[in-house]
C-alpha cells in the first residue's frame, strides 16, 4: 500500500471512522430500545400478575356463591329498599302505617257525578292516518290513484 496516493488513504480513513461512529451510534440506539422494551415487558408482566390475582379472587367468590344451592332463590334474597317497588299512591302508605290493615275502598259515586260532561265543540271528522291513507280530494297532478290500465 505504499504506492497508494495519500489523499485516497485519508479519504478511506475518514470513511472508515465515520462508518464506525455510525455503527456505534446504531448499537447504542438498539441497546437503549432493548432496555426500554425489557422494562415495558416487565411492567406488563407485573400488571398481568396483579390482574390474574384479582380474577382468581373473583372466580373463588363466584364459586363460593354458586356452591350455595339456595343462592338463586329469589324469596331468600333480602329486599334492598322500598324505592325499587311500585308505589300505588297514598293508600299504600296508609296501609303500611296502619300495620298492613287494608283501607276501605271509596264509596261509589252516584251516576250523575260519574257522567262525562258534554262538550260544546263539534267533533271534527277524523283524518285518514297511516302511510298510504288516501285523500278524498282528486289531484290532477297525482296519478298514483288512477288506473292506467282502463
Give pLDDT < 70 ranges for the chain: 1-2, 70-89, 91-150
pLDDT of residue 28: 97
pLDDT of residue 67: 77
Cell numbers 446504531 correspond to: 26
DSSP per residue, the chain = -TTS-HHHHHHHHHHHHHHHHHHHHHHHHHHHHHHHHHHHHHHHHHHHHHHHHHHHHHHHHHHHHHH-TTTT-GGGSPP--GGGS----HHHHHHHHTTSPPPPPPPPPPHHHHSPPPPSSPPPPPPP-STTPPPSS--TT--TTS-TT-
pLDDT of residue 48: 97
Residues 1-17 have pLDDT tens digits of 568 888 999 999 999 99
Amino acid at each position: 500500500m505504499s504506492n497508494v496516493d495519500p489523499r485516497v488513504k485519508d479519504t478511506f480513513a475518514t470513511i472508515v471512522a465515520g462508518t464506525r461512529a455510525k455503527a456505534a451510534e446504531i448499537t447504542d440506539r438498539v441497546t437503549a430500545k432493548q432496555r426500554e422494551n425489557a422494562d415495558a415487558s416487565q411492567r406488563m408482566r407485573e400488571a398481568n400478575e396483579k390482574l390474574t390475582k384479582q380474577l382468581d379472587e373473583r372466580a373463588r367468590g363466584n364459586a363460593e356463591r354458586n356452591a350455595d344451592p339456595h343462592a338463586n332463590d329469589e324469596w331468600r334474597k333480602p329486599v334492598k329498599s322500598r324505592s325499587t317497588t311500585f308505589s300505588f299512591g297514598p293508600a299504600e302508605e296508609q296501609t303500611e302505617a296502619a300495620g298492613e290493615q287494608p283501607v276501605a275502598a271509596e264509596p261509589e259515586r252516584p251516576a250523575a257525578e260519574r257522567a262525562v260532561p258534554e262538550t260544546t265543540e263539534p267533533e271534527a271528522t277524523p283524518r285518514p292516518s297511516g302511510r298510504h291513507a288516501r285523500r278524498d280530494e282528486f289531484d290532477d297532478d297525482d296519478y298514483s290513484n288512477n288506473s292506467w290500465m282502463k
